[in-house]
Amino acid sequence: MQLETLRGCTMLVPRDQAAVALRIRTRTFTELSKQARQQMPVGEADMELLKVAILKALQTGAKTSEQLQLVVPSSLIQDFGQDLKRIGLTNSLSLAINLLKEEGKLIKLQSRKRLDSTSYSLVLTSSLLPEIDPFNLRIEEACAQLATQYFRAESPARVKDFAWWAGINVTDAMRAAAEVKPKLVPIPVEGTKDEFLIAESELAEFFRFEAQESAINFIPYRDTYLKGQREIVNRFVSAEHADKPFSRWKGKLINDPLATIIQEGRVIGVWEWNEDEEQVDLLLFDPSMPKHVEKAVRKRAGELAHFIKANLGEVRLQGLDYGPHQMTGIHDLKVFWGKGVQVDVRV
């Protein structure tokens, strides 16, 4: 299911991990409202009344924010001034909704069952997830469960990688990592003095692993491979190509990985599905790539194209519209490559 969780981002979360996802969510609007309390035209008592009215209105079923505006007392809905709007606080109804989401009482739900839909409704957490109360879970326990999931997927990784990914401070990340079972142990990584951690139970398998020679993998758009650790330049992608595996917003590089081609753990190019031609389009970074490697890449692309045509039918591999400012198509992005713009993958 889709839930707003780490750093306020919307993510796909297994239902049995929903309590952790909701508990770990950053309470941005809670903190902002405390800081801006004196500037608000709505007092604390009225804000509480508005929150109660929203919860009551949703007892009859999911509603959009526009529908809520019609059923809650109009006297409680106040527009905010420009100073508040600059920090993301637009009006009292929007703030009340966000506060209730951060309290674990409301969930934003897609009105249409599509990952690329931008139409949302609001529903009571107790209606959608009657089996959980996220605030019955201690934050320390939630962080420990999250650390277990993170290091299972990303190790060897550092505590500061986990803190960055989860949006928590390093001290809380250290405490959470100490609670992971089986316990985490340090492992040396060539080229750095940083402490990388891995579950002790995975050490033997880790050291036995041997990569296939010239292993080629195609991974999808927004895959966690390039989003799970803070420092990826010179680990997963060379410095000279560091700006290439990411999309752009208004021309500025953002930490949003494209569909990438991986050879022996390193990003060597990007790919996308060409619906008109029914084939995989490729852009390889190094024009002097050995011929046998390029041949292996193109063979793998052909196998992927066959799989897509045979199994995915009308399923879209990319959204209908990323908007006028976000650039994710590899052919559109080429014009920006090599301009040295910074991306949020460097320390």
The ranges assigned to domains in the chain are: 2-135, 139-208, 216-336
Q: What angle do CA 156, 217, 147 make, to 5 degrees?
A: 25
Over residues 261-320, the pLDDT tens digits come to 999 888 999 898 887 888 888 889 888 889 999 999 999 999 999 988 888 765 555 544
For helices 159-166 and 170-178, angle between their N-to-C axes, nearest 10 degrees:
120
The DSSP symbol for 283 reads: E
**Residue 32 or 115, more confident:** 32
Any residues with CB less than 8 A from the CB of 180 and at least 6 apart, and which? 144, 147, 148, 151, 199
Q: How far apart are CA 272 and CA 221, in angstroms?
A: 9
**Residue 231 or 143, more confident:** 143
Over residues 177-236, the pLDDT tens digits come to 999 998 999 998 888 888 999 999 999 998 888 877 668 999 888 788 888 887 777 778
pTM given for the model: 0.76
pLDDT at residue 341, as a whole number? 36
pLDDT at residue 346, as a whole number? 31
**Residue 344 or 146, more confident:** 146
**Residue 251 or 151, more confident:** 151
Token reading at 213: 């020679």
Over residues 229-266, the pLDDT tens digits come to 877 777 788 888 887 888 777 767 777 788 899 998 88
Q: Please provide the average confidence, as pLDDT, over all residues in the chain.
A: 84
Q: Which residues, in sequence order, are bridge partners of residue 196?
A: 187
3-state secondary structure of 237: strand
The domain made up of 139-208 has a fold known as Arc Repressor Mutant, subunit A (1.10.10)
The band of 128, judged by pLDDT with boundaries at 50, 70 and 90, is very high
Buried b (16+ CB within 10 A) or exposed e, 150-166: bbeebbbbbbbbbbbbb
pLDDT at residue 265, as a whole number? 85
Q: Cα separations (Å) of 6 from 146, 281, 316?
A: 10, 33, 26
Token reading at 320: 């209908």
pLDDT at residue 183, as a whole number? 93
Residue 325 pLDDT > 60, yes or no?
no
pLDDT at residue 318, as a whole number? 54
pLDDT at residue 344, as a whole number? 35
Token reading at 47: 């804000």
What percent of the chain is modeled with pLDDT above 90? 44
